[in-house]
A and B are shown apart, each in its own frame.
Chain A
Amino acid sequence: MRNILSISRKAVIYFFIILFVYAAVSKLADFENFRVQVAQSPLLSAFATFIAYTTVIGELVIALMLCFQKSRLLGLYLFLGFMTAFTVYIFLILNYSPFVPCSCGGVLEDLGWWEHLWFNGVVCLVTVIIILLSNHFNFCLDTKVTKNQDSIF
């Protein structure tokens, strides 16, 4: 049981890393285009440049943090923060925006906005579960770090 949990936890974290790296790289590959798209997004137009850089750099840093045991828990919190922000953003677009922009591309190009909202919600939920579980099971292989886990944050 323990084994299955630990393996699936690892698999999920790898998935998160791939998700963010891919999201960041696909934005970087056509950064000018991405910046234009953010500017056209109805909610954040005024801060387009700032948000474009923050998103890409943030995604890369968080993906990197998830790779290392020492920074993994903090990385997960930040990951959760980013995913919550994206989810709230989509929610605002669907409910309060004067118009719904064309889909933004990247990993989930083919998803509609509502499907995107569901996907994000599920990812957030999984992240929360993983953070909660990390208290009871060995999150890292190194026991020393495990003992001091709370102090890492």
Chain B
Amino acid sequence: MKKKIFYIVLTMVISSAVVVGLFVSSEHIMKRENPFTRRFLPHPVTDNQGMELPYNSYYIAGIHNDEIYLGNHSAPLHGLSVNSKSAVADTIALKLEDVSKYPFQSIKWRTSGDSILLHDSGLGLFYKGNISKKILVHKTTVSPGSYSSITTMNNNKIVLRAFNSKKNNVTLGMLNSKSGTLNIQEALLDEEGQPQDLFSNDGILLYNEHLNKIIYVFYYKNKSFIFDSELTNRQVLKNIDTISRPNFKIEYLKQRQELKMSEKPIYVNKAAATAGNYLFILSDRMGKNERREMYDQADIIDVYDVRDLTYSYSFYMHHFKNTPITEIYADGDYLISTGGTILNITRFKKSLYE
């Protein structure tokens, strides 16, 4: 009898210990050394409020007071403001105080709070204005064709993704729109043992206001760099994806004097956005133990915690009118996305800021 009780207790203790052990190490692996196993949270965002836009050339410029502002690539000074609650869209027109002065090439604008920042990367011109007035004033100029994308911070600071086509590299710089000083820091995006050219280090530049961090998400490898507001203290956030270096090589074709990718590039991170404590990444790469058929019906957003650089969870964004997402934007509790002529509006149910 005693022996039996001993065996019974032993059995129960061992199997409990095994389960608890599996749980603890699974949590550790999922967060820190995730081997590309996604964890799908059921419904972390509200039902998608999808709507159709008149053209497929809109991009997301920002959100302010529940109004979503969309810029238009093909009509650079025109845009839409969409009320996130009523889904009513209004056209907006921006005015530049000296519009006839320059041959504008590639205008893009974005909102930050109630201010608008407009820039032309081809000419290196920066304009600023207010959402209510929509008249933009020339602020500062940098050398034409020296950067490819920007993100805005508070205090007139603008972070630039600067590139040097002669040296064939890309890095980050800080521009003060008031004083006009530009401070480019060399080799911020380079990593030892990795290709360091313009293409391989291509990615998405973001600013997280809540944590006051600058985030650079690489397109072609499973990494994002997190910097503090002075572009120092680089931290590496490793994605759950398994591609740790770009799958292509850059070859120089002497005869045609062109750089060419050796293979079709695989996007590890297709689009990214940040709000609260989190980084959101749009991925179409399939992880372990997933349903393949979901990839025809939905896009996947992976969520990372920027504070401790860990993977949090993933969720599906079901296609609205069979249209995949190509761009995402987050602010407050909003997650906005576009793809083709579709605008998707969802909100996170739980606070991103706690």
Q: Are A and B a genuine interacting pair, yes or no?
A: yes
Residues of A within 8 A of B (CB): 35-36, 38-40, 42-49, 51, 77-78, 80-82, 84-85, 88-89, 92, 96, 98-99, 101-102, 124, 128, 131-132, 134-135, 150, 153
Q: Which residues 302-350 in B have Cβ within 8 Å of A in the complex? A: 313
Q: Is the CB of B25 within 8 A of A46?
A: yes
Determine whether the beta carbon of A45 is less than 8 Å from that of B39.
yes
> Which single member of B12, B23, B38, B313 contacts A81 (CB below 8 Å)?
B12
Contact A46 B41 (CB under 8 A): no
Within the complex, what minimum Cβ distance (angstroms) separates B351 from chain A? 15
Interface centre among A39, A43, A45, A131 (most CB of B within 10 A): A45
How many residues on B have C-beta within 8 angstroms of the other chain's C-beta atoms?
A: 34
Determine the chain B residues whose CB is within 8 A of the CB of A132 once the complex forms.
1, 4-5, 8
Nearest-neighbor residue (CB-CB) of A132 within chain B? B4
**B313, A98: Cβ atoms under 8 Å?**
yes
Residues of B within 8 A of A45 (CB): 26, 30, 37, 39
Q: A84's contact among B12, B35, B290, by CB below 8 Å, is which?
A: B12
**For window 10-40 of chain B, which residues contact chain A by CB distance below 8 Å?**
11-12, 14-16, 18-20, 22-23, 25-27, 29-30, 34-35, 37-40
18 CB < 8 A contacts A-B: A35-B289, A39-B37, A39-B290, A42-B39, A46-B25, A46-B37, A48-B37, A48-B288, A49-B288, A77-B7, A81-B11, A81-B12, A84-B15, A85-B15, A85-B19, A92-B23, A99-B42, A132-B8
Q: Known: A81-B12, A84-B16, A85-B19. Contact between A36 and B7, CB under 8 A?
A: no
Shortest Cβ distance from B33 into A: residue: A46
Residues of B within 8 A of A78 (CB): 11
* Complex CA distance for A132 and B27, rounded to whole angstroms: 37
Quick check: is B291 within 8 A (CB to CB) of the other chain? yes
Closest-CB distance, A96 to chain B (whole angstroms): 8
Which residues of the partner chain B approach A101 to less than 8 Å between Cβ atoms?
42
Which 3 residue pairs across A and B have the least CB separation, nearest first? A39-B289, A46-B29, A81-B15
Known: A42-B39, A51-B22. A131 touches B29 (CB 8 A): no
Q: Are A43 and B27 in contact (CB under 8 A)?
A: yes
Question: Known contacts being A46-B25, A84-B11, is A40 close to B40, with CB within 8 Å?
Answer: yes
Asked whether, in the complex, the Cβ of A92 is within 8 Å of the Cβ of B8, the reply is: no
Q: Is the CB of A99 within 8 A of B41?
A: yes
B3 within 8 A of A: yes
User: Do the beta carbons of B15 and A82 come within 8 Å of each other?
Assistant: yes
Partner of A40 from B23, B25, B26, B39 at Cβ < 8 Å: B39
Majority secondary structure, A binding face: helix
A99 to B40, CA, bound (A): 10
Q: Footprint of A on B, CB under 8 Å? A: 1, 3-5, 7-8, 11-12, 14-16, 18-20, 22-23, 25-27, 29-30, 34-35, 37-42, 288-291, 313
- Besides the contacts A40-B289, A46-B37, A77-B7, what 20 more A-B pairs have beta carbons closer than 8 Å? A39-B37, A39-B38, A39-B289, A43-B27, A44-B22, A45-B39, A46-B30, A51-B22, A78-B11, A80-B12, A84-B15, A85-B16, A85-B19, A88-B15, A88-B16, A88-B19, A89-B23, A128-B8, A132-B8, A153-B7
Q: For the complex, what is the distance from the CA of A48 to the CA of B8, rounded to whole Å?
A: 28
A49 to B290 Cα, complex, angstroms: 11
Measured in the bound complex, the distance between the Cα atoms of B17 and A81 in whole Å is 11
When C-beta atoms are compared, the residue in chain A nearest to B14 turns out to be A81
Q: Complex: how many Å from CA A98 to CA B16?
A: 20
- A150: chain B residues at CB < 8 Å are 3
Interface residue from A49, A82, A131 paired with B4 (Cβ < 8 Å): A131
How far apart are the CA atoms of A28 and B37 in the complex, in Å? 22
Are B289 and A36 neighbours in the complex by a CB distance under 8 Å?
Answer: yes
Inter-chain CA distance A118–B313, complex, in Å, is 30
Expressed in whole angstroms, the minimum distance between the Cβ of B28 and any Cβ of chain A is: 8
Partner of A88, one of B7, B8, B20, B290: B20
- Distance between Cα atoms of A92 and B27 in the complex (Å): 12
